[in-house]
Structure 1
């Protein structure tokens, strides 16, 4: 099902247009009709020279390394993470071939970035957004019967962007009145990062960070640190979140509490009517 969903997602204009942009130079070189028109003065018609091959190989290595570091696990995440590097490489290649084609590609690059932005998640969500560490602490301590799962994130971090739809889906699936999901942007509100000891630097390996609060206190977080103080890598997949934070059990406990409170209210109302 996930693979089929990814294929449907790839049909959206943003993805197939960016895929074409990412492979534009290679396609132009390998399609004889296009190649003879685009590179009429090429010494070796429709063949990559040594410099072009080096640029493409370097791009492939960078994409693999950066995609892995960003925590990209699904096909869509891998593809999205690679777009920028591939398009920059194509810009270099088109400019290397002819400054005019390089300028044309750059203009097309900018126009498409403005008019066809990356699609955002628009499915069901039950997330509460906080603006300061104080408001977050006040809400967590206000009612200690509520269990909170809070995501600390930044808008510019690729791992946070990849995790956003997963967290939204989990909030819709598991969210209850006494089991809530919240988010706070530590890039905009660094006081929250400082309060909960999360690095918001551009090289931070703590983004995103998930913290589970019970009875107003932190009980679990991911990622965490090893004995040497280094961040232990954590893959933010739905299955990992469910397993580590025991969401199924948390949901059952929260649902039982909700049902018990509802039964008590019904019984109390019935007793009052009888009296």
Structure 2
């Protein structure tokens, strides 16, 4: 089922164009007809181009593994960040018209969700004060981080499955609201390993987060898959407890009305 969804997503222009650009540079340098159209005297990769492409392969392999890319779409989304930069350099010298394809934005998640978008730490505190009994699962993210983009549909799916009146899902863009990053000790730098960060709040207080730092202050790596998030935050039990509390609240309200 996941493979079928990935194949459907591959039909979008963003993926088609970037896959094409990732492959065509090498192919075009080896096909005489295309090579001559680009004004190249010799139809082969020179030593500098070979070094750049080889280095790109190493970077993609290392970075995507660190990001926890486990599906085809996740892997491609993470690798496009690096292939875009490399292709931008290579195609700029070969044919500047090909650079335009690199500007296509990555498609965003269009499915259902029950997520509340919060405007910084102040907005989140206001929600806590509005009803202290509400449990919150909040994702702190940035729009430019590949891992955050990959996690977005997962978080939306979780919100649809578990959201209740007293169990809410929120998101805070720490790129736009750095005050939230400062308050909850989240590094929002381009090299940060804390993006995304997922925090569970009960009665307005943090009770758990991923990723977290161990006793030595070292960040413990976390793979943001649906199953891992469910297990790490015990979402099934949190959901059942919140549902039970909600039912008790309704029963008490009915007794008062009677």
The two structures share one fold, judged by TM-score above 0.5: yes
Match of residue 238 from structure 1: 226
**Aligned counterpart for 2:235 among listed residues 226, 247, 254:** 247
**TM alignment of 1:100-119, pairs within 5 A:** 101-106=94-99, 108-109=100-101, 113=103, 116-119=104-107
- Rounded to whole Å, the distance in 2 between the matches of 1:117 and 1:93 is 20
- Rounded to whole Å, the distance in 2 between the matches of 1:89 and 1:188 is 28
- Rounded to whole Å, the distance in 1 between the matches of 2:170 and 2:51 is 46
Q: What secondary structure is seen at the aligned counterpart in 2 of 1:23? A: helix
Match of residue 128 from structure 2: 140
Check 1:223–1:84 CA distance in 2 against 1; reply closer, same or farther (3 A cut): closer
- Rounded to whole Å, the distance in 1 between the matches of 2:207 and 2:40 is 66
Deviation at 1:134, TM superposition (A): 2.3
Deviation at 1:38, TM superposition (A): 4.5
Structure 1 residue ranges, 4+ long, deviating more than 6 angstroms after superposition: none
Deviation at 1:17, TM superposition (A): 1.4
What is the CA deviation profile of residues 123-176 of structure 1, one whole-angstrom value per residue up to 9, with x for unaligned ones?
111111211312212312432221111111122222212111111111111100
* Structure 2, unpaired ranges of 5+: none
- Rounded to whole Å, the distance in 1 between the matches of 2:123 and 2:187 is 20
- Number of residue pairs matched? 258
What is the CA deviation profile of residues 224-249 of structure 1, one whole-angstrom value per residue up to 9, with x for unaligned ones?
11222121111111111100001111
Larger mean Cα displacement after TM superposition, 57-66 or 26-35:
26-35
Check 1:61–1:88 CA distance in 2 against 1; reply closer, same or farther (3 A cut): same
Q: How big is the alpha-carbon RMSD for the aligned residues of Structure 1 and Structure 2? A: 2.2
Larger mean Cα displacement after TM superposition, 73-82 or 2-11:
73-82
What is the CA deviation profile of residues 194-243 of structure 1, one whole-angstrom value per residue up to 9, with x for unaligned ones?
22222222222222111111122211111111222121111111111100
Say whether 1:84 aligns with 2:78. no
- Rounded to whole Å, the distance in 1 between the matches of 2:204 and 2:41 is 71
Check 1:186–1:86 CA distance in 2 against 1; reply closer, same or farther (3 A cut): closer
Q: Is the 8 A contact 2:200 2:208 kept in 1?
A: yes
Q: What secondary structure is seen at the aligned counterpart in 2 of 1:180? A: strand
User: Which structure: larger Rg?
Assistant: 1
Deviation at 1:103, TM superposition (A): 2.3
When normalised by structure 2's length, the TM-score is 0.90
What is the CA deviation profile of residues 100-134 of structure 1, one whole-angstrom value per residue up to 9, with x for unaligned ones?
x332323x34xx51xx4211111111111211312
